């Protein structure tokens, strides 16, 4: 991946001026490249990575494995498209292996999610079966550790 | 009343008493009295050793690896080093007779000097330089002969400078490129010119290549790969910087058998062997650590660009360092010595940078800033430095 994208993935708040210094490029060029990434849909948004376990949200997250019958035209895409529209769905992937779609959902309560699966997902034409796993604790999210690693102080002056 | 300590002569030999304290230690003692300092004075990576390397050490401990190893070090590790040096730096060594695992490059340096230089011998080295060189040469009873480099040569050493420093007593040339504290790197052509001179005058080179993997803009060149040099070079390298393993204390020396055997004699009687857990970690670094070193190198390279850009914007001119993780800006434009500048910067803005004079008298007017620290620290340090320089400037006209 291009160094500019890597830097933005680490810290999307980094200023174009600093990005320019880090990459030793003119700031106008950095601005233009970011604009191009946005226009091309390569950068699709900027978000904070929040450790929700630390907030009293009382929300539950679950991963659902779904088996689907592919349709003659469009294969999995048609069903997948429908499922991905639900606001409960956070991320979703077509998978190889024992099931077809992997869906990350969130809801207010366990019942919420259970209801979503049985009433809205399972009833979709083409969905053959579902298996729901509730998440208990987040250790790492989007490459970021959710626990603070104990840091070891280095000595302040060394040769 | 006989034997009062002050009346009696010192227990310490005159030889040791005459070795000055390190300027780094002086500065450390001042800095350590303060709180919340942003330190650009740290000569070691800010990364924690990559997890899989730490794990190799833990696994070894699990399996009861708590014993001595062979004096030379684990054969497996020496074999891995032979492969690493051959593939990366173009010199081949026999892992059985030409490679020694040491307690860091620090020990290797001491062994190397003691093996090849003694009373009456001149050892040439270039300043500004790593603080250990002159003292270690003196410990061996040999005579340290500094060669001065400056901005005019981009802190590079040239064959011409060496030529004019050579005397009939010159035995050894000690090189450190990429250099601590300047970040200077020698181009291949200069290394080859130096090699020709070394062969002509029948010298031996000790090459401290601890920062060689942190070469940013071009190929990594070891003098051991220059024509005629393999058999007159002691190549020193280690794991401290490349894989952020300073606390493991593990490094190595590669040298022709006769020289290595002499180093080995000192090592076996004084150190016995490097710690086994560290040797296991080092082996893992060589086997599976390429992505880690590449990642750290690219992070350092970006910070280097950043700090170089900011220092020049602030009005502290500095060269773009080609290696290591230090920049060496000129701070002499304000009527202050390097030490005064550093102390006032510490006092007024709580930023610690080592005055250039800690690395030799010719470091006067310069200051070493390490970018082996988090980018946020560097940004804040630069903001404070800018404010500080802004206050000095009106007075400097
Ligand atoms: C130029 C140079 N040589 C050697 C060393 C010592 O390294 P080690 O940790 O391998 O003993 C250092 C450490 O700062 C250094 O900068």
Kind and range of the H or E element at B343? helix B338-349
C-beta pairs of A89-96 under 8 Å, 24+ apart in sequence: A90/A61, A95/A65
- CATH code of the domain occupying B11-48+292-392: 3.90.1150.10
* Range(s) of chain B covered by CATH 3.90.1150.10: 11-48+292-392
pLDDT at A79: 93
Is B5 strand, coil or helix?
A: coil
Summary mean pLDDT of chain B: 95
- Statement: residue B5 has pLDDT above 70: no
What's the token pair of residue B120? 């009456």
Environment class of A2 (CB within 10 Å of its CB; exposed 0-12, middle 13-18, buried 19+): exposed
Distance B232 CA to ligand 1 centre (A): 22
- In the sheet with B170-175, reading across from the earlier edge strand, the strands are B99-102, B251-254, B233-238, B204-208, B170-175, B122-127, B143-148
Q: In CATH, what class is B52-288?
A: alpha beta
Instruction: Give the B-side interface with A, CB within 8 Å.
Output: 22, 24, 27-28, 31-32, 37, 39, 41-44, 46, 48, 130-132, 180, 298, 302-303, 305-306, 309-310, 352, 354, 375, 379
Query: Which residues in chain B have Cβ-Cβ distances shorter than 8 Å to A3?
Result: 298, 302
State pLDDT tens for residues A65-115: 999 998 888 889 999 999 999 999 999 999 999 999 999 999 999 999 999
pLDDT at B6: 59
Nearest to B42 among A23, A149, A156 (CB): A156
- Do the Cβ atoms of B37 and B31 come closer than 8 Å? yes
- Statement: residue B22 has pLDDT above 90: no
State pLDDT tens for residues B145-204: 999 999 999 999 999 999 999 999 999 999 999 999 999 999 999 999 999 999 999 999
pLDDT at B7: 65
- Statement: residue A58 has pLDDT above 80: no
C-beta pairs of A115-121 under 8 Å, 24+ apart in sequence: A116/A86, A116/A88, A117/A64, A120/A86, A121/A64, A121/A66, A121/A83
DSSP tag of B71: T
pLDDT at A73: 83
**Alpha-carbon span A120 to B264, nearest angstrom:** 74
For A153, nearest residue in chain B (alpha carbons):
B46
- Statement: residue B84 has pLDDT above 70: yes
- Give the global pTM: 0.90
Query: Which residues in chain B have Cβ-Cβ distances shorter than 8 Å to A18?
Result: 306, 379
Query: Which residues in chain A have Cβ-Cβ distances shorter than 8 Å to B352?
Result: 156-157
Which ipTM was obtained for this model? 0.80
**What is the mean pLDDT of the segment spanning B220-245?**
97
- Statement: residue B62 has pLDDT above 90: yes
Confidence of residue B395 (pLDDT cuts 50, 70, 90): low
pLDDT at B97: 98
Cβ–ligand 1 distance for B239 under 6 Å, the answer no
Cβ contact, residue pair A21, B309, below 8 Å: yes
pLDDT at A74: 81
- Statement: residue B211 has pLDDT above 90: yes
pLDDT at A144: 86
In angstroms, the separation between the Cα of residue B17 and the nearest Cα of chain A is 21
Cβ contact, residue pair B309, A156, below 8 Å: no
Q: Domains, chain A, ranges and CATH?
A: 3-39 (no CATH), 52-137 (3.30.70.920)
Summary mean pLDDT of chain A: 92
Cβ contact, residue pair B32, A157, below 8 Å: yes
- Statement: residue B287 has pLDDT above 90: yes
- Statement: residue B25 has pLDDT above 90: no
DSSP string, chain A: --HHHHHHHH-TT--HHHHHHHHTS-HHHHHHHHHHHHHTTSS--------GGGS----EEEEEEEEEPPBTTTBTHHHHHHHHHSTTEEEEEE-SSS-SEEEEEEESSHHHHHHIIIIIITTSTTEEEEEEEE----SEETTEESSPPPPPPPPS---
What's the token pair of residue A72? 């003659």
- Statement: residue B98 has pLDDT above 90: yes
Distance B19 CA to ligand 1 centre (A): 20
State pLDDT tens for residues B357-391: 999 999 999 999 999 999 999 999 999 999 999 99
């Amino acid at each position: 991946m291009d160094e500019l994208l890597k830097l933005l993935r680490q810290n999307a708040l980094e200023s174009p001026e600093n990005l320019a210094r880090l990459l030793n490029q003119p700031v106008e060029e950095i601005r233009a490249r970011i604009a191009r990434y946005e226009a091309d849909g390569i950068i699709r948004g900027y978000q904070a990575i929040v450790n929700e376990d630390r907030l009293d949200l009382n929300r539950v997250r679950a991963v659902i494995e779904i088996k689907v019958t592919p349709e003659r035209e469009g294969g999995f895409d048609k069903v997948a498209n429908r499922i991905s529209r639900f606001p409960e769905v956070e991320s979703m992937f077509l998978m190889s292996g024992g099931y077809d779609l992997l869906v990350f959902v969130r809801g207010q309560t366990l019942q919420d999610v259970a209801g979503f699966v049985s009433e809205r997902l399972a009833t979709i034409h083409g969905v053959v079966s579902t298996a729901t796993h509730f998440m208990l604790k987040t250790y790492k999210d989007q490459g970021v550790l959710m626990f603070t690693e104990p840091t070891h102080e280095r000595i302040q002056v060394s040769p | 009343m006989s034997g009062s300590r002050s009346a009696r002569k010192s227990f310490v030999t005159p030889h040791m008493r005459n070795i000055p304290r390190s300027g780094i230690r002086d500065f450390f003692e001042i800095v350590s009295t303060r709180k919340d300092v942003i330190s650009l004075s740290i000569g070691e990576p800010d990364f924690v050793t990559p997890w899989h390397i730490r794990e190799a050490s833990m696994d070894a401990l699990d399996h009861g690896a708590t014993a001595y190893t062979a004096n030379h070090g684990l054969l497996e590790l020496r074999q891995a080093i032979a492969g690493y040096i051959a593939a990366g730096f173009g010199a081949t060594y026999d892992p059985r007779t030409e490679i020694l695992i040491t307690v860091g490059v620090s020990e290797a340096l001491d062994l190397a000097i003691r093996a090849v230089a003694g009373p009456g011998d001149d050892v040439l080295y270039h300043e500004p330089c790593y603080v250990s060189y002159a003292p270690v040469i003196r410990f061996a009873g040999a005579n340290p002969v500094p060669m001065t480099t400056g901005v005019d040569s981009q802190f590079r050493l040239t064959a011409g400078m060496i030529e004019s420093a050579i005397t009939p007593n010159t035995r050894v040339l000690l090189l450190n490129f990429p250099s601590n504290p300047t970040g200077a790197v020698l181009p291949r052509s200069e290394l080859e010119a130096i090699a020709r001179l070394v062969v002509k005058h029948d010298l031996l080179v000790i090459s401290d290549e601890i920062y060689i993997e942190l070469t940013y803009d071009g190929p990594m060149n070891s003098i051991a790969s220059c024509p005629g040099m393999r058999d007159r070079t002691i190549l020193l390298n280690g794991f401290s910087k490349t894989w952020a393993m300073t606390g493991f204390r593990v490094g190595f020396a590669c040298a022709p058998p006769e020289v290595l055997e002499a180093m080995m004699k000192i090592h076996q009687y004084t150190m016995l062997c490097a710690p086994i857990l560290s040797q296991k970690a080092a082996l893992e670094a060589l086997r599976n650590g390429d992505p880690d070193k590449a990642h750290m190198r690219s992070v350092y390279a970006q910070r280097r660009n950043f700090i170089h850009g900011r220092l020049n914007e602030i009005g502290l001119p500095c060269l773009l360092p080609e290696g290591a993780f230090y920049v060496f800006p000129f701070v002499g434009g304000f009527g202050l010595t390097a030490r005064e500048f550093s102390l006032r910067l510490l006092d007024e803005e709580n930023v610690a940078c080592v005055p250039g004079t800690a690395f030799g008298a010719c470091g006067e007017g310069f200051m070493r800033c390490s970018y082996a620290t988090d980018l946020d620290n560097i940004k804040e340090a630069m903001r404070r430095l800018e404010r500080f320089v802004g206050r000095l400037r009106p007075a400097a006209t």
